[in-house]
């Protein structure tokens, strides 16, 4: 009897996935810093345009 062929085009990720019931916590400090930098840039841009508006009035 022939052995069943395994499809190598689809990787077997069962070993790398966490089991059901387990939570995988990620470190999001880099995301927080990026959002703060972007928020600071937007705030400074808004204040700059507002001051430009006031100076031309």
Collapsing DSSP to helix, strand or coil, 3 comes out as coil
- pLDDT for 48 equals 98
What are phi and psi for residue 45, nearest 5 degrees? -65, -45
Cα–Cα separations (whole angstroms), residue 21 to 17, 24, 25, 44: 12, 10, 13, 44
- pLDDT for 26 equals 82
* Structure confidence by residue, pLDDT tens digits, 2-54: 777 766 676 666 666 656 666 777 888 899 999 999 999 999 999 999 999 99
Collapsing DSSP to helix, strand or coil, 43 comes out as helix
Enumerate the domain spans of the chain: 30-57
More confident: 17 or 56: 56
- pLDDT for 47 equals 98
């Amino acid at each position: 009897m022939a052995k069943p062929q395994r499809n190598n085009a689809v990787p077997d990720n069962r070993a790398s996935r966490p089991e059901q019931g387990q939570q995988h916590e990620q470190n999001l400090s880099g995301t927080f810093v990026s959002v703060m930098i972007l928020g600071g840039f937007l705030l400074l841009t808004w204040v700059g345009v507002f001051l430009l508006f006031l100076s031309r009035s």
